[in-house]
Amino acid sequence: MNTKSNHHPGLRVLKFLLILALILPATISVALVVRLSPNASCAVPEPADLQAVALTFDDGPSDPGTARILDILSHYRVHATFFVVGARARQHPDLIGRMVREGHDLGNHTYSHPRQKLTAAQLRHQILKTDRLLHGLTGIHFRLFRPSAHWRDKEVLPTSYQLGYPVILASVIPRDWERPGVEVIVKRIAGETQAGSVILLHDGGQGSRTVDALDEIITDLLRRRYVFRTISEMIRDKRMLPASEVRKWLPPYRRNARPSGSRVTLFVPHKDFSDRGRTVQRTS
């Protein structure tokens, strides 16, 4: 028997093509389906023109408002970012745990939501006290900060920078704390949202109108082909602008920065912000 025929170059090429035909479709299908696996260490890049927006909620958690918001987000499989008040998180540790379990992002919104101006030492105390509480509840240090008031105050940027927190602002603010009604909240968001927008809502003590509007807000944005991302994901994917590049938002002592763009949704005192957000392994 002539065994050399098994090593004929043509047969080797044919075998290679047959094997490739078997494994290639499976490989391609996996690459197309897996965009960001819950426990994956890598992901297929999303298109640059993706219309990503971020839903953010301030002043919570509260009962029953936050739980209802989480129910709606879960229904639509949407992840949001909650800027929590430390004192309220202490009252509702179950809601903090649920936020993390369901894959949401958390940020620091001070401990007592002070409305008066704070010294650097007072602000530092507010941030660190909330951080210690959240770490005790979740085992995670959340490195996002949104001031409760006076974000233009000269102490905010230096203090947050020293503690390693980017200051997160918003570009769509429907003023839901004024309780204008569901229709007005939805209309304001619909009229102002664009790719890259950070939408500021409240899950604190502002009543049920925000909760009642949320279903329609999400439905409308999905219909317009927007996708929802957390703040950490927006930072990671460089879908947010550093404030140092948007002059009009800067306090007076920073107005020598190079102007560029028209909006800002990420407020930081430096350009290197890509690793400042928290990365969470999704659990749902």
Looking at 79, 104, 109, 202, which residue is catalytic?
A: 202
Residue 18: the pLDDT is 47
Q: Is 202 a catalytic residue?
A: yes
Spatial distance between the Cα atoms of 165 and 264, rounded to a whole number of angstroms:
17
Residue 276: inside a domain: no
Asked, for residue 16, whether it belongs to a domain, the answer is no
pLDDT in tens, the chain (284 residues): 444 444 555 556 445 544 444 444 433 222 222 222 233 223 334 555 679 999 999 999 999 999 999 999 999 999 999 999 999 999 999 999 999 999 999 999 999 999 888 999 999 999 999 999 999 999 999 999 999 876 667 788 888 888 988 888 888 999 999 999 999 999 999 999 998 889 999 997 665 789 999 999 999 999 999 999 999 998 888 777 555 444 444 444 343 333 333 333 344 333 333 333 333 322 22
Asked whether residue 45 is assigned to any structural domain, the reply reads no
Query: What local confidence, expressed as pLDDT, does residue 226 receive?
Result: 96
Residue 28: predicted pLDDT: 29
280 in any annotated domain: no
Closest C-alpha among 146, 168, 176, 175 to residue 231:
168
Candidates 58, 105, 131, 176; catalytic one: 58
201, part of any domain: yes
**pLDDT at residue 247, as a whole number:** 42
Rounded Cα distance between 153 and 252, Å, is 10
Per-residue model confidence (pLDDT) at position 236: 86
| Per-residue CA distances from 79 to 55, 103, 164, 283 (Å) | 8, 6, 24, 11
Q: What is the CATH number of the domain that holds 93?
A: 3.20.20.370
Give the pair of three-digit tokens for residue 280. Answer: 């969470």
pLDDT of residue 161: 82
Q: Is residue 69 part of a domain?
A: yes
Question: Do the domain assignments include residue 179?
Answer: yes
Q: How many domains does the chain have?
A: 1
Distances from the Cα of 7 to the Cαs of 12, 15, 166, 258, in angstroms?
A: 7, 11, 63, 67
User: Where in the sequence is the domain holding 236, given as residue range(s)?
Assistant: 52-267
Of 89, 106, 98, the residue nearest 70 (C-alpha): 98
DSSP assignment string, 66-122: HHHHHHHHHHHT---EEEE-HHHHHH-HHHHHHHHHTT-EEEE--SS---S---HHH
pLDDT value for 155: 83
Tokens 């940027």 — which residue? 157
Is 58 tagged catalytic? yes
Classify residue 15: in a domain, yes or no: no
